Structure 1
Amino acid sequence: MATSAIAPTSTARPPRTTAGFALLGTVQATLIFTLMAISVPLPDIGREFGLDHSDLVLLNAAYGLSFAALLLLGGRLTDRYGGRRVLTGGLLLLGLASAAAPLAPGFTALLLLRFLQGVGAALVAPAGMAVLRALLPGAAEYGRAMATWGGLSVLGATTGNLASGAVADWLSWRWMFAVPVVVSAVTLVLAPRLLPADPPRERRPALDLPGAVLATAGTVLVSYGLVLTETGGWVPPFAAGLLLLVAFVLRERRAAEPLLPLGFLRGGRRLLGLGATLLSAGGTATVFLLMTLHLQQDLAWTPLATSGAFLPYAAALLAGGRLAGPLVGRFGPRTVTVAGLATGAAGLLALAGLDTHTAYLPGLLPGLLLLPFGAALAFAGAAVLATDGVPEAQIGLAGGVLNTAMELGPTVLLTALLTVGSGGAALGAAAALFALTALAGGLTARRG
């Protein structure tokens, strides 16, 4: 992941600050790269370990399950103990689990290590945003940085998909785990030189442990139930998870220092940012899955050729990311978010004609250019909207909430779309959701 693609938009920033931003940005992209690291070579893993379909579904979801479920707790730990301290602990766990994963002798060990990777990522993601806030304390600087930060996750996902096919074809899927190992090690070495130390805290927020247990267990069970919709037996865990999440909301309304203050989610700007993040993450994940299956199963492409098919997608994503920061600065984050969602809706609509005979040219390529360009704009504007005006004492919480929306998108939205129908029907439904959210964002902006 080249740091030149994620450098913040600024011409008067000290070299150390720019290097610190590049380091944090690379870490953020790596978290989502790791999520996608085994997506394309998953059939190879299944053949090597003799896994059935349900095992593969669980293995593919393990990292995301623990990542999403623990983000709120990771955010509050960051607010309590400091960004760099929590970042260090999370990177140690992520790096050690990633170093052990290639040595896994079988399914159970690999599954456990993927869960542990997700736990480490849930600490790193909100802590990285808190360190970024300390690195760029000025409101304007931080806003410009967040406009770039918003596109890093989809960049990591795209890089993971591109690399996984090539590495699986040329070497082995086990080599994909080298990336988080190297990035974790380099960051731990460079952090004392490039990243600010945690400031002394006059008061540490209390940890709402009952709320953390309810939120974590509820999110895991709901997500796991959604993962099982293909294989059956999904209703009991899904229903139990919903009950726990309802109990979590009731608990947060009464808690003196809640894990997630419900007032934090009030306000149209923040809700638009979180909604756009969830939609963009879920929409891009849906396209990745359906296009990968279509190219390999319907058109008989190899994993390497499938990865190559996403090169134009990656180019459009990088172009959108480079333009997003200046556009946010000129037109504002809400306008850029709405424009990104509208462009993404056009891309999804262009792909909605997908069937078993759809060719790459001209059937898929237009949509594979429009969607990532729009998603890059939407992610950029949404990241600014979701963190705008957050006090420094809650920046870890903001990072946890933003990343939770990002992680739940591929689970919740992807599963919901696939229940509508496969292929074109799912993509058409996604296009409608993008368009409706863009319309709602535009109307609320006019009223404002």
Structure 2
Amino acid sequence: MDNSQQFNEDLCQFLARATTPFHAVAEMVSRLEAAGFSQLIEDTDWDIQPGGRYYVVRNGSSIVAFGIGEKLGPIEGLRMVGAHTDSPCLMVKPAPERQRHGYLQLGVEVYGGALLNPWFDRDLSLAGRVSFQCDAGSLRTALIDFRRAIATIPSLAIHLDREANKNRSVNPQKDIPPILCQLSADEKADFREILREQLVVEHPGCGVEKVLDYEMCFYDTQPAAVTGLKGEFLASARLDNLLSCYTGLQALLQWDGQATVLLVCNDHEEVGSLSAVGAQGPMLGSVLKRLAGDLAGYSALTERSMMISADNAHGIHPNYADKHDENHGPLLNAGPVIKINSNQRYASNSETTGLYRMLAAAEGVPVQSFVVRTDMACGSTIGPITAGEVGVRTLDIGVPTFGMHSIRELAGTKDAFNLSRVLRRFYNHPGSLAAS
């Protein structure tokens, strides 16, 4: 098995465990601690040492991990990689129970810009964070994941909608509440009680007395898989953007200890990033200010630093090639994609793209570019948000992907591995990040 095969197998295992942003951060923490990183608590003093490896978690769904260079400390600048932990999904509402015609359904809210049609006829499970009162009278939280198919959203048969293949649309209020089970006429469903029972299964001895609230989302139980006649594709849920979280993490774990490096994975990108733990919130800036020590040091640190924002790019779809600019249609397995937009929907500029091209060439990794069609609106990433909030030079990069925001997305098996190689070189680059 070569390095790329090992990379993709482990990526599939990571995706299987990272079913929510909370679970993604928990999995990242587990891997960081196994590599010698230690947690810093934000309301305490930090004892930061050269060569030290640290991480900070907020809300259980965003994480900043960093290593202090033994040769180039923070004041010489940071090599930063950013990604996001959240993906479009169906979140369970606070009072979700719907009993109709003997079926228990749960009301859901669409999180982010989900492509809804692929959610029909899938085997769905539930995962998330639960807040509960324990028998000692205190408030506690815990993560749960049913890890098995417990729900589905059946399609309406074509016999009952003969125009389905022409103009069927999805009403997110009426059409997508998942079915969990059948109930007899005298049964009364209580979703919080279902969660309480699952808490006891996953956390025996937790002393749960009453579930107070929750952040639970449905997800597809079909595992990530290498597909394609030649094994050239990776199919999975949540590739946008857990693939980038994993890629950045793998690069960080191969840090050589010389320069100061940082990985930030924010929650809430899919809904605009404006939150206490989103890229438009204070988390990253707070960490950088503590590393800098004072305002003058912070200004020097950000001026000498650079961020690579990693978020998936739109690969050119052979059935819809006219959706791309003819000279900027990225191919799967043809290299990571530099994302450019003159209206600052992406934060790349010629200096940051030039450095990336130099690093990629040193690794023998091909590079592609994406520019949206001039007559179409452009999406965005945490790149421009981080650049605006922190004031750091930024590059937007991504792995070409099909079906972005679907319940199951498709990427190439070479691209994430190649991006990780370039990010590793970026972290371990011995020279200045700025052009002279």
TM-score normalised by structure 1 residue count: 0.26
Task: Flag the structure with higher strand content.
Answer: 2
Task: Flag the structure with higher helix content.
Answer: 1
TM-score normalised by structure 2 residue count: 0.27
